[in-house]
Amino acid sequence: MAANCAETVRQGFDAERVRADFPILARAINGRPLVYLDSAASGQRPLAVLRAVEHYETHCHANVHRGVHALSQAATDAFEGARERTRRFLNARSPREIVFVRGATEGINLVAQSFGRSRLGKGDEILISALEHHANIVPWQMLCEQTGCTLKVAPINRRGEIELDRLLGLLSARTRLVAVAHVSNALGTVVPIERIIQAAHACGALVLIDGAQAVAHAPVDVQALGCDFYAFSGHKLYGPTGIGVLYGREELLAEMPPWQGGGEMIRTVSFERTTYNELPWKFEAGTPNISGAVGLGAAMDYVERLGLDAIAAHEQSLLAAATTALERVPGIEIIGTAAHKAAVLSFTLRGCHPHDLGTILDSQGVAIRTGHHCAMPVMTFFDIPATARASFACYNTAADVAALVAAVRTAGEVFGQ
């Protein structure tokens, strides 16, 4: 996700034109133009996504894989087309490796319950890091309770980077799975997952990457990475909510038992014996989120049309500008100063609780996230209750950064900095 601002300018990434693709950005909030800086929580959707969903709903909807009638075929084509689109997006070998789920959370739970519950037991270890989202902590804690395996946590340093030496030191023959974020949602840290995957594999451990905060900010190639599982949510990639993806290497998915039972995931059912469907449907019990998958496919088309490298470069220039400008505001402390960061800027303002900061910014039309960002251990590590977090996306501009900084200065004035 390295970026070169000059390059962006040369390529002419036109954020103003991009904004026009997102109807919601024309809204006013509290009498002011909306400045949306909360895309790490959920991105907004471009017209291309809204239209793809509308087209599916108005022309193609029926249940998938079930009927001989024309609409069922159209829906199945749309849904499986989105799977093939996702395969290309991640450069997976086969669409059998693409399981549609509700989001990153469900993808991680699937691996914990299917792979973890059938394979892990006492003496086995799962290794995560101290910067994980609760979605990449709690499923493993539940698995440990269920199977007796042990959770190990690699620490982070004051910049918010995983201490790689310590993580490597925690790897051993007992480590069965390493589960780490690609990008930290609370701090913006880009995790050197290539190194971690290599080292984990050398110890015989599998690797799950929580890519929820990564896929909108850089191209991801699961074959080049060599990870075993990769999970993300559609709604952080300018797609709909309620749809997400779990990539899993085919050999692994083939060996894993189903985790939910029902329709769609079976081949034959009798009261004596049920046989399961092939990949990936074995893991997709029940009627899936068809229009969500269609919208997600359209979102992938959209970001690839803009160019993920160009988006990343644009966001990096905003991140750099916002960091520099905020650092000049008296009382500001940036939380998360990793050498390599994605489009997330967490900060605190002395004397002003993040909750108050969020309210003051909202009154100026500036939407940011305040709180623990579902990463309470990160807050504990920095000994703070919460942070304010601005996050950047393809549609943000220098004017958004200026509005953020001005609103933070207003907060500083209200609280007498």
Partner 1 sequence: MNLQDLYRDVILDHNRQPRNFGPLQPADAHAEGHNPLCGDRLTVWLRLDGDRIADIRFEGQGCAISTASASLMTEAVKGKDKAAVQALYERIHALLTDPHAQADAATLGKLAALGGVSEFPARVKCATLCWHTLNAALEHSADAVSTE
CA distance 84 to 72: 18
Q: Which residues between 21 and 50 bind partner 1 (CB under 8 A)? A: 30
Contact between 133 and ligand PLP per CB under 6 A: yes
Identify the DSSP state of 257: P
Least distance from partner 1 to the Cβ atom of residue 35, Å: 15
- Comparing C-alpha atoms, which of 285, 283, 267 is closest to residue 275? 267
Write the interaction track for partner 1 spanning residues 336-365; mark x where CB under 8 A is met and - where it is not: ---------------xxxxxx--xx-xx--
Q: Which residues between 154 and 193 bind partner 1 (CB under 8 A)? A: none
The smaller minimum CB distance to ligand PLP, of residues 137 and 403, is found at 137
> Can you tell me which of 109, 147, 233, 289 binds ligand PLP, judged by CB under 6 A?
233
> Any bridge partners for residue 334, and if so which?
347
Our separate counts of H helices and E strands in the chain read 16, 17
Residue 339 CA from chain centroid, whole number: 20
Contact between 104 and ligand PLP per CB under 6 A: yes
Q: Which residues of 200-222 are buried (b: 16+ CB within 10 A; e: fewer)?
A: beeeebbbbbbbbbbbbbbbbeb
Least distance from partner 1 to the Cβ atom of residue 346, Å: 14
107 within 8 A of 244, measured Cβ to Cβ: yes
- Comparing C-alpha atoms, which of 56, 89, 184, 94 is closest to residue 131? 184
Q: Which does 133 bind (CB under 5 to 8 A by kind): ligand PLP, partner 1, none?
A: ligand PLP
In the annotation, is 394 catalytic?
A: no
> Can you tell me which of 371, 375, 378, 382 binds partner 1, judged by CB under 8 A?
371
C-alpha pair distances (Å), 48 with each of 51, 204, 305? 5, 43, 11
Residue 389, Cβ density class (10 Å: 0-12 exposed, 13-18 middle, ≥19 buried): buried
Contact between 128 and ligand PLP per CB under 6 A: no
> Can you tell me which of 111, 180, 181, 342 binds ligand PLP, judged by CB under 6 A?
181
Q: Which does 114 bind (CB under 5 to 8 A by kind): partner 1, ligand PLP, none?
A: none
3-state secondary structure (DSSP) of residue 300: helix
Number of residues near ligand PLP (by CB under 6 A) = 13
Q: Which residues between 363 and 392 bind ligand PLP (CB under 6 A)? A: 374
**Residue numbers at the binding site for ligand PLP (CB under 6 A):** 103-105, 133, 135-136, 181, 185, 210, 212-213, 233, 374
Task: Tell me which residues touch partner 1 (CB under 8 A).
Answer: 30, 351-356, 359-360, 362-363, 370-372, 379, 385-386, 414-416
Positions marked catalytic? 374
